[in-house]
């Protein structure tokens, strides 16, 4: 599928982008001609470059042979139209992972979220349209917070989805699809690394709301969703994984285990939701089932290639529904290697 393709990933040094780069270089989907990491953070790019040059296994030497040709790094900002237009000149496939995604940060700096999450997407569409670039596919990476948004991060991501979907009309030779998913386990800035940090310091673990629920999926599952949209998505479609959900307090208790660590309720942060939604009630009548995913057909009738016989969902797809039990949460975290080891030593003990 990717053999000979020139791939650009915006925001490729983030949690999702880094795993996506590794998957693309693995050869499991074919060997690309080039994978370009496009981001504004030179420090993270330098760290990634070193990681791929310090090879430890023979198989790595095969995967990353001819490193300089296959994996490339470009400093640039998705907010800046000239740099976007420049990097896309030789792109066949674009993954847009660049985002301001921290909910409180977006609440305090909403104009910055608009610049990255909205204007960044518009720059991609504009560059392809105005320069008639031969980009085959753009995959926009979105979030459950874009559904019935109550925070700036979700609002800007919801508009980003619409910009990419409408891009199919402006750039008829390019296919724009979206992938939307929920909370990614152990991603940068997420709750599990925070809980691990608090456990190392002897607690307490901070819970914002006892009834709060979240969808849970691994970074590999998130990448699977993005690649499924790339492989099978029709113009304007949005791919959503079917994933488990849990109460955040159950996640905290599973991580604590038998340790004498307390939890404390701190209250909801600015812009935070109690429950997340991956498919709204309004979208459910356009949603069909495709393997392990729900697929939302485009709202714009000009783009609808798949004929809707009967929708898969009769109501919204919310994290409050079909919750895992506390025991299931523990098993789920253990499966993904996220339970702290029993030998975990508190940092205060290490300094004693």
Q: What is the CA radius of gyration of the chain?
A: 21
Task: Indicate the angle between helix axes 191-200 and 248-256, nearest 10 degrees.
Answer: 30
Tell me how far apart the alpha carbons of residues 133 and 166 are, in angstroms, rounded to a whole number: 17
Tell me how far apart the alpha carbons of residues 166 and 87 are, in angstroms, rounded to a whole number: 22
Say which residue the tokens 């925001």 belong to.
11
By the 8 A CB rule, do 134 and 173 touch? yes
Q: Which of the following is catalytic: 115, 145, 148, 157?
A: 145
Distance from the first to the final alpha carbon of the chain: 55
Say which residue the tokens 């139209």 belong to.
81
Can 273 be counted among the known catalytic residues? no
- Eight-state DSSP code of residue 35: E
Q: Please list the helix, strand and coil fractions of the chain in percent, rounded to the nearest 5, in that order.
A: 40, 20, 40
**Who's near 279: CB < 8 A, 6+ residues apart?**
147, 240, 287, 294, 296, 313, 316, 317
Torsion of CA 10, 11, 13, 14, to 10 degrees: -140
In three-state secondary structure terms, 18 is: helix
User: Would you name the residues annotated as active-site residues?
Assistant: 145
């Amino acid at each position: 599928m990717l053999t000979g393709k020139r791939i650009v990933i915006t925001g490729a040094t983030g949690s999702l982008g880094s795993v996506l780069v590794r998957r693309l270089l693995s050869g499991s989907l074919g060997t690309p001609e080039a994978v370009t990491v496009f981001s504004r953070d030179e420090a993270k790019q330098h760290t990634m470059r070193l990681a791929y040059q310090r090879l430890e296994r023979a198989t790595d030497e095969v995967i990353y042979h001819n490193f300089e040709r296959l994996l490339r790094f470009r400093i640039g900002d998705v907010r800046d139209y000239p740099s976007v237009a420049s990097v896309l000149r030789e792109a066949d496939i674009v993954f847009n992972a660049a985002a301001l995604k921290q909910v409180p940060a977006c609440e305090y700096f909403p104009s910055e979220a608009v610049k990255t999450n909205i204007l960044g997407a518009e720059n991609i569409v504009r560059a392809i349209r105005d320069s008639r670039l031969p980009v085959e596919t753009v995959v926009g990476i979105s979030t459950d917070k874009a559904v019935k948004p109550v925070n700036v991060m979700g609002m800007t991501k919801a508009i980003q989805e619409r910009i990419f979907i409408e891009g199919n009309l402006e750039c008829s030779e390019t296919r724009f699809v979206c992938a939307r998913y929920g909370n990614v386990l152990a991603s940068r800035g997420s709750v599990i690394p925070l809980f691990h940090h608090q456990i190392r310091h002897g607690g307490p673990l901070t819970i914002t709301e006892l009834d709060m629920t979240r969808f849970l999926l691994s970074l590999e599952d998130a990448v699977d969703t993005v690649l499924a949209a790339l492989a099978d998505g029709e113009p304007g479609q949005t791919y959503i994984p079917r994933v488990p959900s849990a109460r955040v307090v159950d996640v905290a208790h599973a991580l604590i285990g038998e340790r004498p660590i307390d939890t404390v309720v701190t209250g909801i942060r600015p812009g935070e939701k109690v429950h997340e939604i991956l498919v709204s009630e309004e979208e459910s009548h356009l949603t069909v089932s495709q393997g392990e995913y729900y697929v939302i057909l485009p709202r714009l009738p000009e783009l609808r290639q798949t004929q809707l016989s009967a929708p898969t969902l009769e109501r919204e797809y919310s994290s409050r529904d079909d919750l895992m039990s506390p025991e299931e949460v523990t098993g789920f975290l253990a499966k993904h290697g996220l339970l702290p080891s029993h030998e975990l030593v508190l940092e205060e003990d290490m300094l004693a």
